[in-house]
């Protein structure tokens, strides 16, 4: 194994490993192959969420694959997700049973500052985030206050956040005015066992649209600004997947 990849940068400290970053977790060629395969073959969805009196777009595409922790049943053979999981497990062992993917088509796509939803995470288990495609900045901020830490998530990198860090810190990917090529994150989590209706991916009342691979990277904008759909990212509602939590809850996946 590459010694470089074996040494994480410690960004936040806590009793569960804090937040750690491996810049060169996999080599460029492998990262690019994973990115291309996931772009082409994931079942990308564009969510819309009710917000006050309107329905707004979630400003990124998403895909979800719950899977069996032992057999990995649920991870499609056409995707490199099982291989990626094996790499994650070798560095940061965990009880992963779900992977959520985000596709940021350009600098307009984003995820607002949030913590991942605690009721959707097994306590003590890590959250492992593999970045692919173009680099994008993630901001990490202590809820207690202070300046945000900005970290440029490189393709082929791994960011691991402890469960405890979701209580103390928030993270987000801000929009950028700079030209930004597509970027993807694959986020492995340990979800608690829950009733079948909660395992279903979308939130109650949520509207989703599917994308073919060819459409996935082509942003479809409203015909005229002002009349079109509003994006949710100015609010904190866009952060994360579907859950049964009340819509006002700040939450990630």
Ligand X SMILES: O=C(O)CCC(=O)C(=O)O
Residues at the interface with Mn ion (CB under 5 A):
116, 252
The residue within the footprint of ligand X, chosen from 187, 216, 232, 237 (CB under 6 A), is 187
Strands, E assignment, 13-153 = 19-22, 45-51, 54-57, 61-66, 98-104, 111-114, 127-133, 136-142, 149-153
**Stretch 67-106 residues interacting with ligand X (CB under 6 A):** 100, 102
Q: Which residue, judged by CB position, is nearest to Mn ion in the bound state?
A: 252
Output the CA angle 152-109-102, nearest 5 degrees: 75
**Identity of the residue, 42 or 113, whose beta carbon is nearer to Mn ion in the bound complex:** 113
**Identity of the residue, 27 or 63, whose beta carbon is nearer to Mn ion in the bound complex:** 63
**Identity of the residue, 85 or 129, whose beta carbon is nearer to ligand X in the bound complex:** 129
CB of 223 vs ligand X, minimal distance in Å? 29
Quote the crossing angle between the two packed helices 28-41 and 81-91, to the nearest 10°. 140
Is residue 159 within 8 Å of residue 131, measured between CB atoms? Answer: yes
The residue within the footprint of ligand X, chosen from 5, 173, 216, 232 (CB under 6 A), is 173
CB of 195 vs Mn ion, minimal distance in Å? 23
Residue 101 burial (CB count, 10 A): 24
**Identity of the residue, 1 or 58, whose beta carbon is nearer to ligand X in the bound complex:** 58
Helices (H), 115-248: 165-168, 196-199, 213-216
Q: Distance between alpha carbon 204 and the CA centroid of its chain, in Å?
A: 20
Residues β-bridged to residue 57: 48, 231
Instruction: Identify what 103 binds: Mn ion, ligand X, none; CB under 5 to 8 Å per kind.
Output: none
**Stretch 107-136 residues interacting with ligand X (CB under 6 A):** 111, 116, 129
The residue within the footprint of ligand X, chosen from 138, 151, 160, 190 (CB under 6 A), is 138
Is residue 216 within 8 Å of residue 183, measured between CB atoms? Answer: no
**Identity of the residue, 155 or 252, whose beta carbon is nearer to Mn ion in the bound complex:** 252
3-state helix, strand, coil in the chain (%, to 5): 20, 30, 50
Token match 């901020």: residue? Answer: 141
CB of 164 vs Mn ion, minimal distance in Å? 15
Q: Show the site string, 222-241: x = touches ligand X by CB under 6 A, - = not.
A: ------------------x-
Is residue 31 within 8 Å of residue 155, measured between CB atoms? Answer: yes
Structure tokens at 31: 């990262």
**Identity of the residue, 54 or 143, whose beta carbon is nearer to Mn ion in the bound complex:** 143
Instruction: Identify what 94 binds: ligand X, Mn ion, none; CB under 5 to 8 Å per kind.
Output: none
CB of 253 vs Mn ion, minimal distance in Å? 6
**Which residues of this chain interact with ligand X, rule CB under 6 A?**
100, 102, 111, 116, 129, 138, 153, 171, 173, 185, 187, 240, 252-253
């Amino acid at each position: 194994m590459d010694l470089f990849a074996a040494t994480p940068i410690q960004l936040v400290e806590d009793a569960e490993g804090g937040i750690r970053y491996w810049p060169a977790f996999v080599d460029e060629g492998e990262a690019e192959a994973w990115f291309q395969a996931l772009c082409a073959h994931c079942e990308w969805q564009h969510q819309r969420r009710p917000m006050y009196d309107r329905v707004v777009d979630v400003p990124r595409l998403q895909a979800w694959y719950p899977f069996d922790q032992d057999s990995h049943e649920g991870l499609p053979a056409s995707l490199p997700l099982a291989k990626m999981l094996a790499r994650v497990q070798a560095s940061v062992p965990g009880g992963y049973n779900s992977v959520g993917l985000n596709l940021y088509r350009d600098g307009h796509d984003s995820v607002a500052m949030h913590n991942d939803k605690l009721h959707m995470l097994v306590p003590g288990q890590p959250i492992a985030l593999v970045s692919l495609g173009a680099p994008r900045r993630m901001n990490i901020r202590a809820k207690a206050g202070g300046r945000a830490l900005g970290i440029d998530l490189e393709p082929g990198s791994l960011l691991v956040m402890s469960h405890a860090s979701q209580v103390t810190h928030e993270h987000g990917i801000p929009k950028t005015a700079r030209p930004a090529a597509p970027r993807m994150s694959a986020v492995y989590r340990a979800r608690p066992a829950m009733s079948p209706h909660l395992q279903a991916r979308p939130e109650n009342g949520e509207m989703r649209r599917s994308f073919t691979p060819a459409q996935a990277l082509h942003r479809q904008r409203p015909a005229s600004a002002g009349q079109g759909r509003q994006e949710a990212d100015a609010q904190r509602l866009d952060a994360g997947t579907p859950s049964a939590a009340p819509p006002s809850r700040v939450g990630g996946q």
